[in-house]
A = this chain, B = another copy of it.
Amino acid sequence: MNIALSPRAADYRNRLLAFFDRHIYPNEKLYATQVNTGARWKTIPLIEELKGKAAAEGLWNLFMPEAPFGPGLTNLEYAPLCEVMGRVPWAPEVFNCNAPDTGNMEVLARYGTKDQQERWLWPLLRGEIRSCFAMTEPAVASSDATNIESAIVRDGDEYVINGRKWWSTGAGDPRCAIAIFMGKTDPTAAKHKQQSMILVPFDTPGVKVERMLNVFGYDEAPHGHAEVSYTNVRVPAGDMLLGEGRGFEIAQGRLGPGRIHHCMRSIGLAERALEFMCRRVRERVAFGKPIAQQGTIRADIADSRMEIDQARLLVMHAARVMDEAGNKAARAEIAMIKVVVPNMALRVLDRAMQAHGAAGMCEDFPLASGWALLRTLRLADGPDEVHQEAIAKLELKKYDPPKA
Protein backbone atom coordinates (compact mmCIF):
# COMPACT_ATOMS: atom_id res chain seq x y z
CA MET A 1 0.00 0.00 0.00
CA ASN A 2 1.63 3.14 -1.25
CA ILE A 3 0.40 6.34 0.28
CA ALA A 4 1.93 9.60 -0.79
CA LEU A 5 4.04 11.00 2.03
CA SER A 6 5.48 14.45 2.35
CA PRO A 7 9.16 14.46 1.36
CA ARG A 8 10.11 15.02 4.99
CA ALA A 9 8.01 12.09 6.18
CA ALA A 10 9.30 9.89 3.39
CA ASP A 11 12.87 10.71 4.33
CA TYR A 12 12.29 9.95 8.01
CA ARG A 13 10.54 6.75 7.08
CA ASN A 14 13.40 5.51 4.96
CA ARG A 15 15.87 6.28 7.69
CA LEU A 16 13.70 4.55 10.28
CA LEU A 17 13.37 1.46 8.10
CA ALA A 18 17.13 1.36 7.68
CA PHE A 19 17.61 1.76 11.44
CA PHE A 20 15.28 -1.18 12.00
CA ASP A 21 17.22 -3.33 9.57
CA ARG A 22 20.52 -2.43 11.18
CA HIS A 23 19.66 -2.17 14.85
CA ILE A 24 16.22 -3.39 15.83
CA TYR A 25 15.44 -6.67 14.08
CA PRO A 26 18.95 -8.10 14.62
CA ASN A 27 18.70 -7.36 18.33
CA GLU A 28 15.34 -8.87 19.17
CA LYS A 29 16.88 -11.92 20.79
CA LEU A 30 19.43 -9.85 22.68
CA TYR A 31 16.68 -7.65 24.01
CA ALA A 32 14.77 -10.68 25.32
CA THR A 33 17.91 -12.02 26.95
CA GLN A 34 18.67 -8.75 28.68
CA VAL A 35 15.11 -8.43 29.95
CA ASN A 36 15.00 -11.99 31.22
CA THR A 37 18.41 -12.01 32.91
CA GLY A 38 19.07 -10.58 36.35
CA ALA A 39 16.76 -8.15 38.08
CA ARG A 40 13.26 -7.74 36.74
CA TRP A 41 12.72 -4.00 36.88
CA LYS A 42 15.76 -2.30 35.49
CA THR A 43 17.26 -0.34 32.66
CA ILE A 44 18.03 -2.40 29.56
CA PRO A 45 21.55 -1.70 28.26
CA LEU A 46 20.57 -2.37 24.64
CA ILE A 47 17.89 0.30 24.79
CA GLU A 48 20.29 2.86 26.20
CA GLU A 49 22.84 2.05 23.53
CA LEU A 50 20.31 2.31 20.72
CA LYS A 51 18.84 5.52 22.12
CA GLY A 52 22.25 7.08 21.64
CA LYS A 53 22.42 5.94 18.04
CA ALA A 54 18.86 7.04 17.24
CA ALA A 55 19.36 10.46 18.79
CA ALA A 56 22.60 10.87 16.88
CA GLU A 57 20.75 10.14 13.66
CA GLY A 58 18.02 12.65 14.49
CA LEU A 59 15.42 9.92 14.94
CA TRP A 60 14.34 11.35 18.24
CA ASN A 61 11.16 12.77 19.73
CA LEU A 62 9.50 12.52 16.34
CA PHE A 63 6.09 12.46 17.96
CA MET A 64 6.45 15.95 19.44
CA PRO A 65 4.50 18.48 17.40
CA GLU A 66 5.34 21.53 19.47
CA ALA A 67 8.47 23.54 18.77
CA PRO A 68 10.98 23.98 20.34
CA PHE A 69 10.47 20.57 21.91
CA GLY A 70 10.48 18.49 18.77
CA PRO A 71 10.66 18.42 15.01
CA GLY A 72 7.09 19.61 14.58
CA LEU A 73 5.78 16.85 12.34
CA THR A 74 2.09 16.83 11.59
CA ASN A 75 0.03 13.87 12.68
CA LEU A 76 -0.18 12.81 9.06
CA GLU A 77 3.59 12.87 8.77
CA TYR A 78 4.18 11.10 12.03
CA ALA A 79 1.63 8.36 11.42
CA PRO A 80 3.71 6.22 9.04
CA LEU A 81 6.75 6.67 11.25
CA CYS A 82 4.86 5.58 14.29
CA GLU A 83 3.63 2.54 12.36
CA VAL A 84 7.18 1.50 11.63
CA MET A 85 8.18 1.90 15.26
CA GLY A 86 5.21 -0.20 16.31
CA ARG A 87 6.48 -3.23 14.41
CA VAL A 88 8.54 -4.14 17.48
CA PRO A 89 6.89 -3.34 20.80
CA TRP A 90 10.07 -2.25 22.57
CA ALA A 91 11.34 -0.13 19.67
CA PRO A 92 9.48 3.15 20.29
CA GLU A 93 11.53 3.87 23.40
CA VAL A 94 14.68 3.76 21.30
CA PHE A 95 13.36 6.87 19.57
CA ASN A 96 11.94 8.36 22.79
CA CYS A 97 8.52 7.88 21.27
CA ASN A 98 7.00 5.44 23.73
CA ALA A 99 3.77 5.61 25.67
CA PRO A 100 2.93 6.93 28.17
CA ASP A 101 5.90 9.29 28.09
CA THR A 102 4.84 10.80 24.77
CA GLY A 103 1.42 11.73 26.09
CA ASN A 104 2.90 13.07 29.29
CA MET A 105 5.45 15.15 27.38
CA GLU A 106 2.68 16.62 25.28
CA VAL A 107 0.73 17.56 28.37
CA LEU A 108 3.78 19.28 29.83
CA ALA A 109 4.54 21.01 26.55
CA ARG A 110 1.03 22.32 26.18
CA TYR A 111 -0.09 22.95 29.71
CA GLY A 112 3.07 23.00 31.84
CA THR A 113 4.59 26.12 33.32
CA LYS A 114 8.14 27.04 32.40
CA ASP A 115 9.25 25.69 35.76
CA GLN A 116 7.35 22.40 35.36
CA GLN A 117 8.88 22.03 31.91
CA GLU A 118 12.40 22.61 33.23
CA ARG A 119 12.02 20.04 35.94
CA TRP A 120 10.18 17.32 34.03
CA LEU A 121 9.72 17.95 30.34
CA TRP A 122 13.31 18.47 29.33
CA PRO A 123 14.65 15.41 31.19
CA LEU A 124 11.88 13.40 29.55
CA LEU A 125 12.74 14.79 26.14
CA ARG A 126 16.35 13.80 26.70
CA GLY A 127 15.25 10.29 27.70
CA GLU A 128 16.80 10.60 31.14
CA ILE A 129 13.73 9.94 33.19
CA ARG A 130 10.47 8.10 32.65
CA SER A 131 6.93 8.94 33.73
CA CYS A 132 3.54 7.46 34.35
CA PHE A 133 -0.07 8.55 34.07
CA ALA A 134 -2.15 7.92 37.17
CA MET A 135 -5.78 7.92 36.17
CA THR A 136 -7.50 4.51 36.32
CA GLU A 137 -8.66 3.34 39.75
CA PRO A 138 -9.45 -0.19 40.88
CA ALA A 139 -12.46 0.76 42.94
CA VAL A 140 -14.59 2.35 40.23
CA ALA A 141 -15.51 1.88 36.57
CA SER A 142 -12.93 4.26 35.17
CA SER A 143 -14.44 4.05 31.69
CA ASP A 144 -16.54 6.88 33.08
CA ALA A 145 -13.82 9.28 34.19
CA THR A 146 -16.23 11.20 36.36
CA ASN A 147 -16.16 8.14 38.62
CA ILE A 148 -12.56 8.79 39.62
CA GLU A 149 -12.48 9.27 43.36
CA SER A 150 -8.96 10.12 44.46
CA ALA A 151 -8.73 13.25 46.51
CA ILE A 152 -6.51 16.26 45.89
CA VAL A 153 -7.04 18.63 48.80
CA ARG A 154 -5.49 22.06 49.17
CA ASP A 155 -3.73 22.53 52.47
CA GLY A 156 -1.86 25.81 52.64
CA ASP A 157 0.88 25.87 50.02
CA GLU A 158 0.48 22.22 49.35
CA TYR A 159 -1.94 19.70 47.99
CA VAL A 160 -2.57 16.51 49.92
CA ILE A 161 -3.25 13.51 47.73
CA ASN A 162 -4.99 10.30 48.71
CA GLY A 163 -6.12 7.50 46.46
CA ARG A 164 -5.31 4.26 44.77
CA LYS A 165 -4.49 3.96 41.06
CA TRP A 166 -3.68 1.01 38.88
CA TRP A 167 -2.56 0.29 35.36
CA SER A 168 0.05 3.02 35.76
CA THR A 169 2.13 1.94 32.78
CA GLY A 170 5.85 2.61 33.06
CA ALA A 171 5.87 2.69 36.84
CA GLY A 172 8.05 -0.42 36.91
CA ASP A 173 10.97 1.42 35.38
CA PRO A 174 13.41 2.47 38.11
CA ARG A 175 13.80 5.79 36.32
CA CYS A 176 10.09 6.58 36.59
CA ALA A 177 10.36 9.99 38.24
CA ILE A 178 7.04 11.67 37.81
CA ALA A 179 3.34 10.82 37.73
CA ILE A 180 0.62 12.93 36.23
CA PHE A 181 -2.13 12.30 38.70
CA MET A 182 -5.85 12.85 38.21
CA GLY A 183 -8.21 13.33 41.12
CA LYS A 184 -10.97 15.43 42.55
CA THR A 185 -10.26 18.85 43.95
CA ASP A 186 -13.90 19.80 44.29
CA PRO A 187 -16.51 17.04 44.54
CA THR A 188 -19.23 19.67 44.69
CA ALA A 189 -18.38 21.38 41.40
CA ALA A 190 -20.11 20.77 38.09
CA LYS A 191 -19.47 17.22 36.87
CA HIS A 192 -16.63 18.04 34.49
CA LYS A 193 -15.03 20.63 36.74
CA GLN A 194 -14.43 18.41 39.76
CA GLN A 195 -11.24 16.86 38.48
CA SER A 196 -7.72 18.24 38.36
CA MET A 197 -4.34 16.96 37.23
CA ILE A 198 -1.29 17.43 39.35
CA LEU A 199 2.36 16.45 39.09
CA VAL A 200 3.53 13.97 41.71
CA PRO A 201 7.26 13.28 41.91
CA PHE A 202 7.40 9.53 42.21
CA ASP A 203 9.74 9.58 45.21
CA THR A 204 7.39 11.68 47.32
CA PRO A 205 6.67 10.07 50.68
CA GLY A 206 3.36 8.25 50.65
CA VAL A 207 3.68 7.01 47.07
CA LYS A 208 3.90 3.24 47.17
CA VAL A 209 3.98 0.72 44.34
CA GLU A 210 1.76 -2.00 45.76
CA ARG A 211 2.29 -4.55 43.01
CA MET A 212 3.09 -4.96 39.36
CA LEU A 213 0.14 -6.28 37.34
CA ASN A 214 0.09 -9.03 34.74
CA VAL A 215 -1.42 -8.78 31.28
CA PHE A 216 -2.24 -12.32 30.16
CA GLY A 217 0.65 -13.58 32.22
CA TYR A 218 3.11 -10.98 30.95
CA ASP A 219 4.47 -8.51 33.46
CA GLU A 220 5.64 -6.43 30.52
CA ALA A 221 8.93 -5.67 32.20
CA PRO A 222 10.90 -3.52 32.21
CA HIS A 223 8.22 -0.85 32.15
CA GLY A 224 5.22 -2.78 33.48
CA HIS A 225 1.90 -1.68 34.88
CA ALA A 226 1.66 -0.84 38.56
CA GLU A 227 -0.94 -0.59 41.24
CA VAL A 228 0.10 2.42 43.32
CA SER A 229 -1.27 3.78 46.55
CA TYR A 230 -1.04 7.46 47.44
CA THR A 231 -1.36 8.12 51.17
CA ASN A 232 -1.24 11.68 52.43
CA VAL A 233 1.12 12.56 49.62
CA ARG A 234 2.06 16.23 49.84
CA VAL A 235 3.21 18.25 46.84
CA PRO A 236 3.71 22.00 46.47
CA ALA A 237 0.75 23.91 45.11
CA GLY A 238 2.86 24.83 42.08
CA ASP A 239 2.67 21.26 40.85
CA MET A 240 -0.95 21.70 39.83
CA LEU A 241 -1.39 21.59 36.05
CA LEU A 242 -3.25 24.45 34.40
CA GLY A 243 -5.45 25.06 37.45
CA GLU A 244 -7.99 23.35 39.67
CA GLY A 245 -10.94 21.81 37.88
CA ARG A 246 -9.25 21.57 34.52
CA GLY A 247 -8.44 17.88 34.60
CA PHE A 248 -10.98 16.94 31.95
CA GLU A 249 -9.77 19.65 29.65
CA ILE A 250 -6.23 18.25 29.86
CA ALA A 251 -7.43 14.66 29.53
CA GLN A 252 -9.23 15.51 26.31
CA GLY A 253 -6.17 17.26 24.94
CA ARG A 254 -3.95 14.35 25.88
CA LEU A 255 -6.04 11.56 24.54
CA GLY A 256 -6.33 12.50 20.88
CA PRO A 257 -2.68 12.15 19.94
CA GLY A 258 -2.20 9.29 22.41
CA ARG A 259 -4.93 7.31 20.73
CA ILE A 260 -3.67 7.87 17.24
CA HIS A 261 -0.16 6.81 18.28
CA HIS A 262 -1.49 3.59 19.79
CA CYS A 263 -3.39 2.95 16.59
CA MET A 264 -0.45 3.51 14.28
CA ARG A 265 1.75 1.27 16.37
CA SER A 266 -0.95 -1.39 16.30
CA ILE A 267 -1.01 -1.27 12.53
CA GLY A 268 2.72 -1.85 12.50
CA LEU A 269 2.22 -4.85 14.74
CA ALA A 270 -0.51 -6.20 12.48
CA GLU A 271 1.63 -5.77 9.37
CA ARG A 272 4.45 -7.62 10.98
CA ALA A 273 2.16 -10.44 12.08
CA LEU A 274 0.89 -10.81 8.55
CA GLU A 275 4.48 -10.94 7.36
CA PHE A 276 5.28 -13.69 9.87
CA MET A 277 2.17 -15.52 8.78
CA CYS A 278 3.01 -15.40 5.09
CA ARG A 279 6.54 -16.60 5.68
CA ARG A 280 5.43 -19.40 7.97
CA VAL A 281 2.73 -20.82 5.73
CA ARG A 282 5.05 -20.85 2.75
CA GLU A 283 7.51 -22.99 4.66
CA ARG A 284 5.43 -25.49 6.59
CA VAL A 285 4.00 -28.50 4.80
CA ALA A 286 0.91 -30.42 5.89
CA PHE A 287 -1.16 -33.00 4.05
CA GLY A 288 1.21 -32.95 1.13
CA LYS A 289 1.42 -29.26 0.34
CA PRO A 290 2.58 -26.00 1.86
CA ILE A 291 -0.01 -24.59 4.24
CA ALA A 292 0.05 -21.51 2.01
CA GLN A 293 -2.01 -23.50 -0.48
CA GLN A 294 -4.90 -24.12 1.92
CA GLY A 295 -7.93 -22.09 0.87
CA THR A 296 -8.91 -21.03 4.37
CA ILE A 297 -5.40 -19.79 5.11
CA ARG A 298 -5.42 -17.82 1.88
CA ALA A 299 -8.76 -16.30 2.81
CA ASP A 300 -7.27 -15.36 6.18
CA ILE A 301 -4.37 -13.65 4.45
CA ALA A 302 -6.65 -11.77 2.07
CA ASP A 303 -8.97 -10.70 4.87
CA SER A 304 -6.00 -9.49 6.90
CA ARG A 305 -4.68 -7.43 4.02
CA MET A 306 -8.08 -5.87 3.44
CA GLU A 307 -8.60 -5.07 7.08
CA ILE A 308 -5.14 -3.62 7.64
CA ASP A 309 -5.35 -1.38 4.61
CA GLN A 310 -8.75 -0.04 5.54
CA ALA A 311 -7.71 0.63 9.10
CA ARG A 312 -4.54 2.39 8.04
CA LEU A 313 -6.47 4.64 5.69
CA LEU A 314 -8.86 5.52 8.48
CA VAL A 315 -5.97 6.42 10.75
CA MET A 316 -4.33 8.55 8.05
CA HIS A 317 -7.65 10.23 7.49
CA ALA A 318 -8.07 10.91 11.22
CA ALA A 319 -4.55 12.33 11.30
CA ARG A 320 -5.38 14.65 8.45
CA VAL A 321 -8.56 15.88 10.12
CA MET A 322 -6.64 16.47 13.35
CA ASP A 323 -4.03 18.44 11.45
CA GLU A 324 -6.50 20.46 9.47
CA ALA A 325 -9.37 20.99 11.87
CA GLY A 326 -8.02 20.24 15.32
CA ASN A 327 -8.43 17.41 17.80
CA LYS A 328 -11.89 18.42 18.84
CA ALA A 329 -13.22 18.49 15.30
CA ALA A 330 -11.68 15.07 14.80
CA ARG A 331 -13.36 13.44 17.75
CA ALA A 332 -15.54 11.14 15.66
CA GLU A 333 -12.51 10.04 13.65
CA ILE A 334 -10.42 9.50 16.78
CA ALA A 335 -13.19 7.48 18.39
CA MET A 336 -13.49 5.40 15.24
CA ILE A 337 -9.82 4.46 14.98
CA LYS A 338 -9.80 3.70 18.69
CA VAL A 339 -12.42 1.00 18.08
CA VAL A 340 -11.44 -0.15 14.62
CA VAL A 341 -7.70 -0.58 14.90
CA PRO A 342 -7.21 -2.73 17.99
CA ASN A 343 -10.04 -5.03 16.95
CA MET A 344 -8.58 -5.33 13.48
CA ALA A 345 -5.09 -5.98 14.76
CA LEU A 346 -6.36 -8.60 17.21
CA ARG A 347 -8.02 -10.48 14.37
CA VAL A 348 -4.89 -10.32 12.24
CA LEU A 349 -2.68 -11.53 15.07
CA ASP A 350 -5.13 -14.26 15.96
CA ARG A 351 -5.06 -15.57 12.40
CA ALA A 352 -1.27 -15.40 12.40
CA MET A 353 -1.12 -17.33 15.66
CA GLN A 354 -3.46 -19.95 14.31
CA ALA A 355 -1.30 -20.38 11.22
CA HIS A 356 1.76 -20.87 13.41
CA GLY A 357 0.21 -23.70 15.36
CA ALA A 358 1.40 -24.13 18.91
CA ALA A 359 4.49 -22.07 18.13
CA GLY A 360 2.25 -19.02 17.87
CA MET A 361 1.21 -19.34 21.51
CA CYS A 362 4.71 -19.07 22.98
CA GLU A 363 7.68 -16.77 23.14
CA ASP A 364 9.23 -18.00 19.90
CA PHE A 365 7.23 -15.47 17.93
CA PRO A 366 6.06 -11.98 18.95
CA LEU A 367 2.47 -12.96 18.29
CA ALA A 368 0.99 -13.97 21.62
CA SER A 369 2.66 -11.11 23.46
CA GLY A 370 1.55 -8.71 20.74
CA TRP A 371 -1.98 -10.01 20.97
CA ALA A 372 -2.03 -9.46 24.73
CA LEU A 373 -0.76 -5.93 24.31
CA LEU A 374 -3.41 -5.19 21.71
CA ARG A 375 -6.14 -6.68 23.84
CA THR A 376 -5.54 -4.06 26.50
CA LEU A 377 -6.07 -1.35 23.89
CA ARG A 378 -9.74 -2.28 23.62
CA LEU A 379 -9.94 -0.94 27.18
CA ALA A 380 -7.15 1.58 27.65
CA ASP A 381 -8.31 5.18 27.12
CA GLY A 382 -11.89 3.95 27.24
CA PRO A 383 -13.50 0.65 26.25
CA ASP A 384 -14.84 0.10 22.74
CA GLU A 385 -18.36 0.55 24.02
CA VAL A 386 -17.72 4.11 25.19
CA HIS A 387 -16.30 5.09 21.83
CA GLN A 388 -19.10 3.41 19.89
CA GLU A 389 -21.49 5.42 22.00
CA ALA A 390 -19.64 8.64 21.16
CA ILE A 391 -19.73 7.85 17.45
CA ALA A 392 -23.44 7.04 17.54
CA LYS A 393 -24.18 10.24 19.39
CA LEU A 394 -22.39 12.33 16.78
CA GLU A 395 -24.06 10.45 13.95
CA LEU A 396 -27.55 10.83 15.34
CA LYS A 397 -26.93 14.50 16.08
CA LYS A 398 -26.73 15.14 12.34
CA TYR A 399 -30.48 14.71 12.25
CA ASP A 400 -31.30 17.15 15.00
CA PRO A 401 -34.00 19.53 13.94
CA PRO A 402 -32.50 22.88 12.95
CA LYS A 403 -32.48 25.28 15.84
CA ALA A 404 -34.81 28.23 15.73
Contact = CB atoms under 8 A, between A and B. Distances in A.
B141 A357 contact: yes
A280 to B, nearest CB: 10
Nearest to A281: B396
Contact of A396 (B301, B314, B398): B301
A26 to B, nearest CB: 19
Contacts of A388: 296, 298-299, 302-303
A23 interface: no
Interface in A1-33: 1-3
B282 A371 contact: no
Contacts of A299: 295-296, 385, 388, 392
Contacts of A156: none
A384 B301 contact: no
A306 interface: yes
A359 B298 contact: no
Interface string A192-213: 0000000000000000000001
Contacts of A281: 396
A396 B282 contact: yes
A219 B361 CA distance: 11
Contacts of A380: 358
Nearest to A282: B399
A295 B380 CA distance: 21
Interface in A363-404: 363, 368-369, 371-372, 375-376, 378-380, 383-385, 387-389, 391-393, 395-396, 398-399
Contact of A216 (B361, B384, B392, B399): B361
A112 to B, nearest CB: 27
Nearest to A219: B217
A232 interface: no
Given A384-B354, A388-B298, A368 B399 contact: no
Given A361-B216, A399-B282, A302 B391 contact: yes
Given A286-B147, A361-B216, A339 B295 contact: no
A346 to B, nearest CB: 9
A133 interface: no
A352 B355 CA distance: 26
Contact of A395 (B294, B302, B387, B389): B302
Contacts of A362: 213-215
A44 interface: no
Contacts of A360: 379
A143 interface: yes
B376 A278 contact: no
A295 B295 contact: yes
Contact of A285 (B147, B274, B314): B147
B284 A141 contact: yes
Interface in A282-298: 282, 284-287, 291-292, 294-298
Given A141-B284, A285-B147, A376 B395 contact: no
Given A294-B295, A295-B296, A361-B379, 9 more contacts: A141-B284, A143-B357, A217-B369, A298-B392, A306-B391, A310-B340, A313-B313, A313-B314, A361-B376
